[in-house]
Amino acid sequence: MSILTVKNLTKQFGGLVANSNIDMDVEKGSITAVIGPNGAGKTTFFNMVTGVYQPTSGDILLNGESIVGLKPHQVTRKGIARTFQNIRLFGAITVLENVMVGMHTHLHGGLFSTIFNLPHVRKEEKEARKEAYRLLEYVGLESLFNEEAQNLPYGAQRKLEIARALATQPKVLLLDEPAAGMNPKETSELTKLIYNMREELDLTIILIEHDMKLVMEISEHIVVLDHGEKIAEGTPDEIRNNQKVIEAYLGKGAAATAS
Amino acid sequence: MKNWLSTIQANKRLQAIMIGLYIVVTFLSLYLAQKSVIAFLLLLASLLLLYFTTFSNRIKWLVAGLVMVVLLPFAASQGEAYQSYMEVATLVGIYIAMALGLNIVVGMAGLLDLGFVAFFAIGAYTYGIFATSQANNFMPFGHYPLSGGSFWVFIFIGCLAAALFGILLGIPVLRVKGDYLAIVTLGFGEIIRIIFNNLDKPVNITNGAMGLASVQPPKLFGLDFMYPSQFYYIVLVILLVVIFAVRRLEYSKIGRAWKAVRENEIAAQSMGIHLVRTKLMAFAVGASFSGMMGVVFAAKQTFVDPTSFTLLESITILVMVILGGMGSVPGVILGAALVTILNLQVLTELTNWLNQLSLNGVISIPDALSPAKMQRFIFGAILILFALYRPQGLLPAKNPVFKKEDLTDTSGHPPMNAGVQKEGAQHVHLDS
Ligand SMILES: Nc1ncnc2c1ncn2[C@@H]1O[C@H](COP(=O)(O)OP(=O)(O)O)[C@@H](O)[C@H]1O
Ligand SMILES: [Mg+2]
């Protein structure tokens, strides 16, 4: 059963066609990778799915229901969470609070109940702190909970983005280049983490990634974009041997000499 | 120096003796030397010292309460300068509440508002119009002025009116970001003032540039509030409520949402935060503090006119926030106190002193250079120096420090996100 369906999705920036007639079907519970050279339109695709950009045309269905036209916060409430390629943490607040911001929609304290510190708010906040800590444990950042997010090393920042996205309790998680800037050890930890999240958290994961080892290792389905167009899709094995994909990555000449 | 400080920090008894001694000495000096502004300021500064001690919050609040409710008014009450001291203390309280309001908008939510004094004006006019005969000009029913007993209700009405205007102004204003927001809010601040200045025709609502005179004094159990020494206590109570409210909001879901919006709007939205609603709430809450104090200001001055609500006032409040530390509640309180005292006491005293000198023919300072006229220059200098050398302000904002025991305590309730379990994370089978 597909949880996310994309039909004819197109995005133009003036004359530039960043995404052109993209079709995609994402199986519930699967790990799908979106790959392609820089500037292929991968992040633009994520931005449309999460409501940051409005598509020029086409449709995006979550469980059969269109989410086009929704604001980013509404998309999040529907169950889609994401991380960002250019890290967007809340730098000046603590690691734990970053995760607690992710719980925003699941907390109910209003203005007056907060000012009067009513029992339900107190209880809810206490639970939220513990839950945030558990999420930090889950991604392996528990020792850093009191640090300011901006002081974290790069790899930890990427993991914090994941913990924060998990805190929104998503059904679909979009990861935009989660391994960028990580060393091989961190990347292999991340690979395990992504795999575990899918297994344990009932998640569907779509990830953009340049690290081919990671992509080939964990994704069941790969979609390849080039110049805004979908040039191929299939299993890792199919993609590895796809002529068009090799050309897109290595250039026509190189592909010819290689074969 | 470091050593010395840490010895004191470790020794609570020593701290108690020092702060106690300090309070007693400054109290006695003010009590005995009534004309000594310095003694008055030093006694006020005991609150700052208290902030730096390591006692529990409860003890700090108790001692601060003692100083503010009993010692300060009593020590000041023995001479002619009593009312002028209390006037300063009252204005300090009013400005602290406003600066705390602006701090929510600028410091926490990151929205630069250069027209903040508009909400103070709205509070002041709300009471001013109905507590003078002015309302007779346009109200189809009722007799005005309302009695001073209505003042207490008007504190809430002023609060709500300012919050409402915060939202009404916010809806169009919050479409723009960054520098544009600053310019648009500046415009709105001026527009509000100009409207109050001109709303004497066709229907006379605000009495225009003439202002509203003889505003009814607040009344409680037959007692009229006329003197600064009385308003001091009204301001103190409202200020405590305001501090209490911001403290609660600061580290709550709402405060976190404000900071998230400040740090990164796109990420905040993708955490499910409703951008417009969150910003409007910051505007409304910040404005409401000013609205309440506006009502008090109108009653205290017994006169309201548009000249009290100029751009310079907005800038002054902003300087308080920046000087103290954006987003920092203790910082902003300090900043507001320093700037108000600088304005009301230090510059005035300095001017008097220099005038005295030139009268005696010691030196002659041209009128244009008198310190009282240096306000703008000094604010400008503060803004530039702090932007360059200490952008986080005098007492920088602090993040909460969580205790690990509280986070790992497993008693009580089931987790919200039942799927996340630490067990199982270890068993990894990668199909390759
Ligand atoms: N907001 C924008 N305005 C104009 N052009 C954009 C915008 N966002 C992306 N683009 C352009 O769209 C193309 C695809 O970008 P992007 O989706 O970021 O690529 P990728 O993530 O695959 O590297 C690039 O040419 C980029 O310059
Ligand atoms: Mg990208």
Atom of ligand 1 nearest to the CA of A42: 22
Asked whether residue B412 carries a pLDDT value surpassing 80, the answer given is no
- Split into its structural domains, chain B has a count of 3
| Chain B environment of A145 (Cβ under 8 Å) | 402, 404, 407
Rounded mean pLDDT, A74-82: 95
CB contact under 8 A, A52 and B254: no
> From the candidates A71, A97, A147, A171, which should be mutated to test the interface with B, based on the most B CB atoms within 10 A?
A97
Q: Is residue B193 part of a domain?
A: yes
Asked whether residue A31 carries a pLDDT value surpassing 80, the answer given is yes
Asked whether residue B203 carries a pLDDT value surpassing 60, the answer given is yes
Alpha carbon of A207: minimum distance to chain B alpha carbons (Å): 17
Same domain, B70 and B142: no
Q: Is residue B189 part of a domain?
A: yes
Asked whether residue B202 carries a pLDDT value surpassing 90, the answer given is no
Alpha carbon of A253: minimum distance to chain B alpha carbons (Å): 31
Question: What is the reported pTM?
Answer: 0.90
Task: Tell me the angle at which helices B12-32 and B37-52 cross, rounded to the nearest 10 degrees.
Answer: 160
Rounded mean pLDDT, A163-186: 94
CB contact under 8 A, B272 and A91: no
Please list, in sequence order, all residues whose beta carbon lies within 8 angstroms of the beta carbon of residue A259, skipping any fewer than 6 positions away.
Answer: A243, A246
Q: Is residue B392 part of a domain?
A: no
CB contact under 8 A, A90 and B415: no
Report the CATH architecture of A2-258: 3-Layer(aba) Sandwich (3.40)
Averaged pLDDT score across all residues of chain B = 84
Render pLDDT for B94-129 as a digit per residue (tens, 0 to 9). 999 999 999 999 999 999 999 999 999 999 999 988
Same domain, B55 and B136: no
Task: State the Cα angle at B319 between B278 and B315, rounded to 5°.
Answer: 80
**pLDDT range class, residue A253, cuts 50, 70, 90:** low
What pLDDT sits at residue B44? 79
What pLDDT sits at residue B430? 37
Distance CA B410, CA A126 (A): 11
Burial class of residue B117 (count of CB atoms within 10 Å of its CB; 0-12, 13-18, 19+):
buried
Looking at this predicted complex, what is its ipTM? 0.93
Q: Is residue B218 part of a domain?
A: yes
B279 touches chain A (CB under 8 A): no
Q: Which of residues 9-48 of A touch B (CB under 8 A)?
A: none
What pLDDT sits at residue B425? 36
Q: Which of residues 162-201 of A touch B (CB under 8 A)?
A: 164, 166-169, 191-192, 195-196, 200-201
Same domain, B127 and B178: yes
CB contact under 8 A, B264 and A89: yes
Q: Is residue B358 part of a domain?
A: no
Which phi and psi angles does B3 have, rounded to 5°?
A: -55, -50
| Chain B environment of A105 (Cβ under 8 Å) | 271-272
Same domain, B50 and B21: yes
CB B334 within 8 A of CB B48: yes
Nearest ligand for residue A86 CA:
2
Same domain, B241 and B127: yes
Of B289, B308, B325, at which residue does a domain stop?
B325
What pLDDT sits at residue A166? 96
- Residue A143 CA, ligand 2 centroid: distance in Å: 30
Same domain, B75 and B96: no
- Residue A44 CA, ligand 1 centroid: distance in Å: 6
Render pLDDT for B241-287 as a digit per residue (tens, 0 to 9). 999 999 999 999 999 999 999 999 999 999 999 999 999 999 999 99
> From the candidates A104, A105, A116, A120, which should be mutated to test the interface with B, based on the most B CB atoms within 10 A?
A104
Distance CA A87, CA A71 (A): 21
B285 touches chain A (CB under 8 A): yes
| Torsion sign, CA atoms B218, B222, B228, B229 | negative
Q: Is residue B405 part of a domain?
A: yes
Of B25, B54, B80, at which residue does a domain stop?
B80
**pLDDT range class, residue B220, cuts 50, 70, 90:** confident
Q: Is residue B212 part of a domain?
A: yes
Same domain, B229 and B302: yes
What pLDDT sits at residue B9? 74
First to last CA, chain A: 37
CB B19 within 8 A of CB B46: yes
Of B33, B64, B80, at which residue does a domain stop?
B80
What pLDDT sits at residue B422? 38
Asked whether residue B195 carries a pLDDT value surpassing 70, the answer given is yes
Render pLDDT for B376-407 as a digit per residue (tens, 0 to 9). 788 788 888 888 988 889 989 888 899 888 88
**pLDDT range class, residue B1, cuts 50, 70, 90:** low
Q: Which residue of A has its CA nearest to B397?
A: A92
What pLDDT sits at residue B432? 33
What pLDDT sits at residue A1? 77
Asked whether residue B60 carries a pLDDT value surpassing 60, the answer given is yes
What pLDDT sits at residue B262? 95
Distance CA A253, CA A259 (A): 10
Same domain, B207 and B236: yes
Same domain, B90 and B221: yes
Q: Is residue B371 part of a domain?
A: no
Same domain, B409 and B303: no
Nearest ligand for residue A40 CA:
1
Rounded mean pLDDT, B193-203: 86
Q: Cβ atoms within 10 A of the Cβ of A199, count? A: 15
Same domain, B177 and B227: yes
Residues having CB closer than 6 A to ligand 1 are A 13, 16, 18, 36, 38-44
Asked whether residue B428 carries a pLDDT value surpassing 70, the answer given is no
Cis peptide preceding B228, ω within 30 of 0? no
Q: Residue B12: which domain range?
A: 1-80
| Chain A environment of B273 (Cβ under 8 Å) | 73, 101, 104
Render pLDDT for A111-167 as a digit per residue (tens, 0 to 9). 999 999 999 999 999 999 999 999 999 999 999 999 999 999 999 999 999 999 999
Query: Among the residues of B33-70, which ranges form H helices?
Result: 37-52, 57-65
Render pLDDT for B153-173 as a digit per residue (tens, 0 to 9). 999 999 999 999 999 988 888
Same domain, B102 and B193: yes
CB contact under 8 A, A146 and B401: yes
Asked whether residue B424 carries a pLDDT value surpassing 80, the answer given is no
Query: Which residue has its alpha carbon closest to ligand 1 atom 4?
Result: A13
B430 touches chain A (CB under 8 A): yes
Distance CA A226, CA A244 (A): 10
Higher pLDDT: B239 or B213? It is B239
Render pLDDT for B366-377 as a digit per residue (tens, 0 to 9). 777 777 777 778
Query: Which residue has its alpha carbon closest to ligand 1 atom 8?
Result: A44
What pLDDT sits at residue B132? 80
Query: Which residue has its alpha carbon closest to ligand 1 atom 24?
Result: A39
Q: Which residue of B has its CA nearest to A94?
A: B399
CB contact under 8 A, B267 and A89: yes
**A103, A123, A201: residue with CB nearest B420:** A201
CB A207 within 8 A of CB A196: no
What pLDDT sits at residue B405? 82
What pLDDT sits at residue A87? 94
Query: Which residue has its alpha carbon closest to ligand 1 atom 3?
Result: A13
Q: Which of residues 116-135 of A touch B (CB under 8 A)?
A: 116-117, 121, 123, 125-135
SS3 assignment, position B349: helix
CB contact under 8 A, B272 and A76: yes
